[in-house]
Amino acid sequence: MTIDQLLVYFFGACAMLGGVLMLVARHPMRVALALISCMLSLAGIYAMLGVHVVAVFQVLIYVGAVMVFMVYVIMLLDVRDPSFVRRYSRMLLPGVVLGALLAGALGVSAVRLGAPAIQPGASAAPSYLVQPFSVEFLREYWLHFELTSVLLVAAVVAAIAIIRTGRRSDG
Amino acid sequence: MADTQLLLGLSFVLFALGLVGVMVRRNALVMLMCMELMLNAVILALVTFSLETATLSGAVLVFLIFVVAAAEIAIAIPIVLQLSRQRSSLDVEGYDRLQG
Amino acid sequence: MKLLTVIVLLPLAGFLLNGLLGRRLGRTFVSIVGCGLPILAFLATLKAVLLLQAAGPDAALLEVAYRWASFGDQGFDVAFYFDRLTAVMTLIITGVGSLIHVYSTGYMKDDPGYARYFAYLNLFLFFMLTLVLGRSLLVCFVGWEGVGLASYLLIGFWFEDPAKAAAGKKAFITNRVGDAGFLLGLFLLYWALGTVNMDEINAAFAAPVAPAVSASLVGVLLFIGATGKSAQIPLHVWLPDAMAGPTPVSALIHAATMVTAGVYLVARLHGIYEHAPEASQVVAVIGVLTAFFAATIALVQTDIKKVLAYSTVSQLGLMFLALGVGAYGVAVFHVYTHAFFKACLFLGAGSVIHALGGEQDIRKMGGLWRRIPLTFGTFAVATAAIAGIPPLAGFFSKDEILWFALASQHGGSAALWVLGSAASLLTSFYMFRLLWLTFLTPSRMSHDTEHHVHESPFSMTGVLIVLAALSAIGGFFELPHFLEPLLPIPAVAGSLEHYEHTFVFVAVAVALLGLAAATFMYRRGLARGEALAARFPRLHRILGGKYYIDELYEAVLYRPLHWVSDRVFLGLGDRLLIDGSLHGLAALTRRASGRLSRVQTGQLQWYVAMAVIGVVGCLVWVWRHG
C-alpha cells in the first residue's frame, strides 16, 4: 500500500464525511462549507489519480466560482428564515430509505454488470496533464467545446430574463 | 485495480447522499448544493471510467458537466432569489400551489 | 345525338334549375322551366317513337350513357332501352306529366312553395323516366327508389301538418318492404344469370336451356316489390294516405304513373312470368283480391280523394289480374287508359276542391254541375270511362282484362272472372255515387262555401278537357295489338272461343247495372244510402274502417316493434349497453384521475422520491433483462 493509495482513501473518507455533514448541518453556510471540503477532497483524489485537468477545474470552477457565488447568496438571505431553523422536511424517513435503496441498487448493478471492458485498439493511456489534454481535447472535440458557449449564452439570457420578470411582478 | 471498485462505490455513496439531501432538506439553497454534490459524484464516476477504459471521452464529459453546472447555478440562484423575495421563504414545502 | 339520354335529363335539368334558382327568379321562370322541359321531353319522346316505328315492330333503340361500374370484363352500364313498351310508358309519363304540370300552374298558384313543388315534380319525372327507360334492373331500381323519394317529398309537401308528413313517411316505409323483395329478386337474377339487363333476362328464360334458378321464386320476389310500389294487398295501406299531397301530385304519381311501375316491371320481365305459372297465379289472385276489396272500401268513403284512391288501388288490382293471366299487353293497355281517366278524375276532383276552397267531403257537396259545368262535364266523361261504359276508353281495356281472366289458357278461371266482374260492378256503382253526390244532387253546401264557388282557370280546365277527350277516344287505339311483337297475347281456351262477344255484353250490362244502382240510391241525396248503412251497421263499420288493416298492422307489427325498439334496443342496448359503457368508462376515468391527481401534491420532494423509485425500478428491470 503506497502513500498514494493511502491518500486516495483519506480523501475519499473526507469526501464522504463532507457529504454526511451536508445532510446534518443546520445552517446553509455550514452546508456550503461541507460541500466545499467535499469538493476539495475530490479534487485531491483526481490529483492523486493523475487527472490533473479535472482536479484543476474542480478547484477553479466549482470551489472558486460556483461555491463562492453560493456563499455570497447565503449571506444575502435572511437567516431567520424558518427553513434555516427546521432542517428536515416530512420526507426525512422515506428519503433516507430511498437513498439507501438507490445506493444499494447502484452497487448491485455495478457488481452484476462488472467493470467496463477496455476498448480494443485504445493506445496507451492518455495523458491528463493540462497541456497534452488541452491539445488533444481541442483537436478532437473542438465542436463540442464551441457548442458549450451557446449553452452558456442561453444561461446568461435566461438569468437576465428571470431577474427582469421578477422586477416586473414586483413593480 | 481495486481502486476502481472503491472509487465507484464512493461515487454511488456521494450520489445517494446528495439525493437524500434533495429529498429531506427544506431549504431550497441547501437542495441546490445537494444537487451539486450529485453532479460531483457523477464526475467522479466519469473520471473513474475514463481511467479504466483509457479513453479521453470521460474527461471530456466531465468538462461538459462543469459547463452545465455553471449554467445551472447561473439560473438557479436568480430563481432562488426571486422565490425568497416573493414568498419571503426558502421553504420548499411552502411551494405547493401547483397540485392536482 | 343521344336522344334517350336527353329525354331523361331534361326533367333533371328542370329540377336543378327550379330547385337552385327557382326562389330567386320568380314564378314565371319556374312555370316556364317546370312545364317547358317536360313538354320538350315529350316532344323528344315523340321523335324517338318515330325512329322506333321506322325501325320495325320488335326493334329497340339502345343507348349507353356511360359505364357505371366495371369489374373484370363485366360491368354495369347506365343504358337506356326503348322499345314499344317503353315507348307507351314514356309517352304516358311525359304526356300526362306535362299536362299535369300545366294544370299545377293554376292549382298551386298561390302556394308559397311553388318553386319547390315544381322542382320535386320534375325530379319525379326524371326518376320515373329512369325507371322505364333503364335497360338494366339496376338502373330501373335507381329510378324505383327515386320515385319513392319524390313521392315521399310530394306527399309530405305541406310538411307543417304532422299528419301529412306522417303520410309521407308511411308511404316511404311501406315501399321499403316491397323494395326488399325487389332487391332479393335482383340479386338472385344476377347470381343465376350474370346479367341484370332486362332484355337479356327475358331472352335467358326463353332459351331452350332453362336458367338454374326458380322462375317462380324470382317472380314472386319481384312481385313483392311491385306490390309495394303499386299498392297491392298487403302493402296497399300507403296509397289512400298518400292523398295528403297536393291533388295534381295524386293525379300524376299516385294514379297515372308511379303506381303503375309495378305493372311495368312485371310486363317488362314477362319472360320470367311466362315460365312461372305459380308466380303468375299469385299475381292474379293478389290482383283480383285487391281489386275487389279496395272497391268495397271505396263504397263508403266520403272523402272525394279517398274514393278515387281506393278506386286506383282497385284498378291496379285489375291490371295485376291481367298480368297474372298472361295478358301483359292488356295490362299495359289498362295502364294507358287508366292514366287518362284517373288523371282526369283526380284533376277534376282538384278542380272541385279548388272551387270549394278546400272542402273534400262529398256529403257537403252537391249541385255543382250548374256552377262548374266544365269540370262536371269532364268528370262525367272520365267516370263513365272508368265504369266501363262503351265506347269510352275504360270499356275496352277492362272488358279485355275480364275476358282474359276467364278465358286465358295461362291461368284464367271462372273465379277470377266473377271477382273481377264484381269489382267492376262496384267500381261503376261507387263512381256514379261520387258523381251524383258531388255534382247532381241538390246542394248540401254551407251558404258561405256556396257563395265562393267558381270555375277554375283555363290552365286547369283546358287540361281537363284534353284528358277527357283522351279518356273518350283512347280506347280505339289497339294497344295490345301494337305491343304484340313484344308482349304475346295468351291463347284462349277452346271452349270459350266463340263467346267473346257475349261477354262484352255481360261487361256492359255490369257497368250499366252499377250506374242504375247508383242512380237509384243517390239520385235524391244521401237518405237512401244512409238508410242502407243503418240496415247493415256492422258491414258499414268494417268497410268504413277499411277492414281495419291499418289497426291490424299497428297491433301486429308496430306495437311489438315499438316495444322491442323502446325496451330492448333503446332501453337495454342504447341506454344501458352503449351509453352505460361510455358513461361508465368516463366515470371510471374521472374517479381514477381524481385518485391519481392526489399524487400531484405540489411537494417538490415527493416528486423527487417518485423519480427515485422509478430509477430503482429501472435498475431492477435492467438486472432482470440486461
Asked if pLDDT for residue A39 goes beyond 70, the answer is yes
pLDDT of residue C95: 93
| Three cell numbers, residue C303 | 272523402
CA distance A162 to chain C (A): 20
**Helix/strand/coil for B26:** coil
Query: B36, B37, B27, B47: which is closest to B89 by C-alpha?
Result: B27
More confident residue, C449 or C109: C109
Report the residue of C623, C624, C625 to disrupt the A interface, i.e. the one with the largest count of A CBs within 10 Å.
C623
Q: What is the C-alpha to C-alpha distance for residues C436 and C442, in angstroms, rounded to an integer? A: 9
- Kindly report the backbone phi and psi dihedral angles of residue C66, in degrees, each rounded to the nearest multiple of 5, phi listed first: -165, 165
Strand partners, C63: C80
Q: pLDDT class for A117, splitting at 50, 70, 90?
A: low
Could you tell me if C300 and C359 are in contact, meaning their C-beta atoms sit under 8 angstroms apart?
Answer: no
Rounded-to-integer distance, Cα B25 and Cα A90, Å: 9
Non-local CB neighbours of C123 within 8 Å, separated by 6+ positions: C11, C12, C15, C19, C146, C149, C150, C153
- Residue B100 belongs to a domain: no
**Range(s) of the domain holding residue B47:** 2-94
- For A102, which of C606, C612, C622 is closest by C-beta distance? C612
Asked if residue C238 lies in contact with residue C231, where contact means CB atoms within 8 angstroms, the answer is: yes
pLDDT, tens digit (0-9, with 9 covering 90-100), for C518-561: 888 888 878 888 888 888 888 888 888 888 888 888 888 888 88
Q: CB distance C616–A113 less than 8 Å?
A: no
Cis peptide before C485 (omega within 30 of 0): no
Give Cβ neighbours of residue C12 (< 8 Å, ≥ 6 apart): C122, C123, C126
Residue C320's pLDDT band, with cuts at 50, 70 and 90, is very high
Average pLDDT for A109-128: 64
pLDDT digits (tens, 9 = 90+) for B26-76: 888 889 999 999 999 999 999 988 888 878 888 888 888 988 888 998 899
| Rounded Cα gap, residues A132 and A129, in angstroms | 6
Chain C residues closer than 8 Å to A92 by CB: none
Cell numbers for C484: 304484340
Per-position DSSP letters for C561-607, written without gaps between them: HHHIIIIIIIIIIIIIIIIHHHHHHHHHHHHHHHHHHTT--S-HHHH
Tell which residue, C176, C183, C194, has the closest CA to residue C218.
C183
Interface test with A, best of C601, C616, C621 (most A CBs within 10 A): C616
B95 touches chain A (CB under 8 A): no
Number of helices (H), then strands (E), in chain C: 27, 2
Range with lowest mean pLDDT among A110-119, C232-241, C396-405: A110-119
Q: What is the Cα–Cα distance from C246 to C159, expressed in whole angstroms?
A: 11
Q: Are B26 and A88 inside 8 Å of each other by CB?
A: yes
Helix (H, G, I), strand (E, B) or coil at C302: coil
Nearest to A101 among C605, C616, C626 (CB): C616
% residues pLDDT > 70 (chain A): 86
Percent of chain C at pLDDT exceeding 70: 100
Instruction: Say if B82 falls within a structural domain.
Output: yes
Kindly state whether B76 is in contact with chain C, defined as any CB-CB distance less than 8 angstroms: no
Task: Tell me the Cα Rg of chain B.
Answer: 17
Is residue B99 over pLDDT 80? no
| Integer Cα distance of B88 and C2 in angstroms | 91
Q: Which of C609, C620, C626 comes nearest A95 by C-beta?
A: C609
C-alpha span between C93 and C605 (Å, rounded): 86
pLDDT at A115 over 60: no
Report the CATH number at residue B44: 1.10.287.3510
CB burial readout C321-359, b (16+ within 10 A) else e:
bbbbbbbbbbbbbbbbbbbbbbbbbbbbbbbbbbbbeeb
Please calculate the CA angle C600-C603-C604 and round it to the nearest 5 degrees. Answer: 105
Cell of C407: 278465358
Provide the grid cell at A42.
475530490
C520 versus C448: which is more confidently predicted? C520
Answer yes or no: is B29 within a domain. yes
Contacts of C612 in chain A (CB under 8 A): 98-99, 101-102
Taking residues C111-139, what's their average pLDDT? 92
Residue C391 CA, chain-centre distance (Å), reads: 28
Domain count, chain B: 1
**Which residues from chain C sit within 8 angstroms of residue B96, using beta carbons?**
601-603
**Pairing state between β C61-71 and C74-82:** antiparallel
CA B76 to chain centre: 12
For cell 313543388, the residue is C117
Question: Is B99 part of a structural domain of the chain?
Answer: no
How many CB atoms sit inside 10 A of residue B31's CB?
25
| Cell representation of residue C201 | 333476362
- Mean pLDDT, chain C, whole residue set: 89
**pLDDT at residue C411 tops 90:** no
Q: How far apart are CA C206 and CA C276, in angstroms?
A: 12
Residue B6 located in a structural domain: yes
Report the complex ipTM.
0.90
pLDDT at C548: 85
In a domain, B62, yes or no: yes
Bond preceding residue C391 cis, omega within 30 of 0? yes
Q: Quick one: CA torsion of C152, C154, C159, C162, rounded to 10 degrees?
A: -60
Instruction: Transcribe C229-278 into DSSP letters.
Output: HTT-TTSTTHHHHGGGS-HHHHHIIIIISGGGHHHHHHHHTHHHHHT-HH
C261-268 and C137-155 helices, crossing angle to 10°: 170
B19 within domain boundaries: yes
Q: pLDDT for A64-88, tens place per residue?
A: 888 988 898 888 886 666 666 777 8
Q: What residues are paired with C77 via a beta bridge?
A: C67
Q: Quote the percentage of chain C above a pLDDT of 90.
A: 44
Residue B1 above 50 pLDDT? no
Query: Which residues face A105 on adjacent strands?
Result: none
Query: Considering only alpha carbons, which residue of chain A is nearest residue C608?
Result: A95
